């Protein structure tokens, strides 16, 4: 399985935070959820822990069964629409966005 992760390292100024969060979760993520071949989609929101604010405001994790599925999604019209949509919320973000593609193995855990 392949996972594409987008890490938003930084913050959003308080006056824009609620609007930014609402747009990302309720407009942008449903658009990304339409990628062909996408098997899973996770939205991670950073929270304070151990006395410190998170270094990453949020992260996205997109799961694909194969490289062919990933390549098809990356070349799709819906991905281009999602890329265009980023311009509607990214100006509110102060920081860097990093993308990393991982090969993923699931490790069983005792429940």
- Domain locations along the chain: 2-103
| pTM value > 0.85 | yes
Angle at 90 between CA 89 and CA 91, to 5 degrees: 95
CATH 3.30.70.100 fits 2-103, yes or no: yes
Could you read off the pLDDT tens digit of each residue along the chain, which spans 111 residues?
A: 999 999 999 999 989 999 999 999 999 999 999 999 999 999 999 999 999 989 899 999 999 999 999 999 999 999 999 999 999 999 999 999 999 999 999 899 998
Short-list 46, 4, 35, 27, CA closest to 90:
27
């Amino acid at each position: 399985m392949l996972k594409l992760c987008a890490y938003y390292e930084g913050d959003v100024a308080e006056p824009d935070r609620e609007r930014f969060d609402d747009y990302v979760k309720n407009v942008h993520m449903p658009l990304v959820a339409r990628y062909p071949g996408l098997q899973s989609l996770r939205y991670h929101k950073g929270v304070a822990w151990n006395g410190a604010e998170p270094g990453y405001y949020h992260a996205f994790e997109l799961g694909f069964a194969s490289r062919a599925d990933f390549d098809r999604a990356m070349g799709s019209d819906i991905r281009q629409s999602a890329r265009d949509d980023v311009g509607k919320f990214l100006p509110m973000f102060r920081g860097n966005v990093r993308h990393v593609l991982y090969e993923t193995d699931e490790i069983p855990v005792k429940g």
